Homo-oligomer: A and B are copies of this chain.
Amino acid sequence: MNKVEVIHSPALLPLYDLKDKVVVVIDILRATTTMCVAFNTGVNKILPVASPDECFMFKEFDFIIAAERNAVRVPGFDMGNSPFEYENPLIAGKNIAFTTTNGTKAIKMAKAMNPHSILIGSFLNITALSKKIKESGRDLILLCSGWKDKYNLEDTLFAGAVIHKLAATYGMHDDAALSAYFLFEQHQDNLEALVRKSSHAERFTILHLQTDDVKYCLQQDTLSIVPEMEGEFLVNLGLKNEVLIMKF
């Protein structure tokens, strides 16, 4: 039986060994949800970047530049971090340089620790993701992006949902995995009520976001793609193959 561990915050990454493991990066509200939507719309590559300043430098290289800080789009950038924006068919075939408060940082930190592979998780693609994890036959790290290195509810809830899906083939290896499992068990019949209580959902309410991003990000199995890292880029290997066939 393979093992699954949960990391509640990127700040705790140095305590873990990622070698030969599959790492799923989780930022439910909203970066990893948004990335799944972007690839479903037909984006070619996403380059995770640490800071808005560094992200801006990719503009001259024909990237769409996208930056979010503190839940809002950074002024001067093409796009923010709402999944609704990434349903726009105009982004199909484009490359995006992307920086967010938590998610892209978690991806870059995980990448620096040389795991076997890095996958992008969201409720939208949870079944496709779980299938891909099982097929890997490797031990698993579920990495919650958190909020500025602090614990958050929605990422842990998703980690618990994945553990439930994998229960037949993955054993829980640490207390963090157990707590995620119990959190999902307790709230599975009403995820939205729990996530509305979270500090990040509250942040959205204060900002009066015009779209209901919380509800959007809790949709399950609307997508069958699983973005993953290839070198420095996030790609959708499944979709890329189709695109290649179309090109040649």
Contacts and interface: CB of A to CB of B under 8 A. Distances in A.
A183 interface: yes
Contacts of A214: none
A162 B35 CA distance: 39
A95 interface: no
A179 B197 contact: no
B175 A150 contact: yes
A58 interface: no
Nearest to A146: B175
Contacts of A153: 175, 178-179
Residue in A8, A175, A186 whose Cβ sees the most chain B Cβ within 10 Å: A175
Contacts of A151: 8, 12, 174-176, 179
A82 interface: no
Interface residues of A, number: 27
A179 B179 contact: yes
Interface string A143-175: 000011111110010000000000000000011
Interface of A is mostly: helix
Contacts of A186: 182, 185-186
Contact of A183 (B149, B174, B179, B197): B179
Interface string A7-43: 0110110010000000000000000000000000000
A198 interface: yes
A150 B174 contact: yes
A114 interface: no
Interface string A185-199: 111000000000111
A176 B11 CA distance: 15
B12 A150 contact: yes
A164 B18 CA distance: 37
21 contacts: A8-B8, A9-B12, A11-B11, A11-B12, A11-B15, A12-B12, A15-B149, A151-B174, A151-B175, A151-B176, A153-B175, A153-B179, A156-B179, A175-B199, A175-B200, A179-B179, A179-B183, A182-B183, A182-B186, A185-B186, A186-B186
Interface of A: 8-9, 11-12, 15, 147-153, 156, 174-176, 178-179, 182-183, 185-187, 197-200
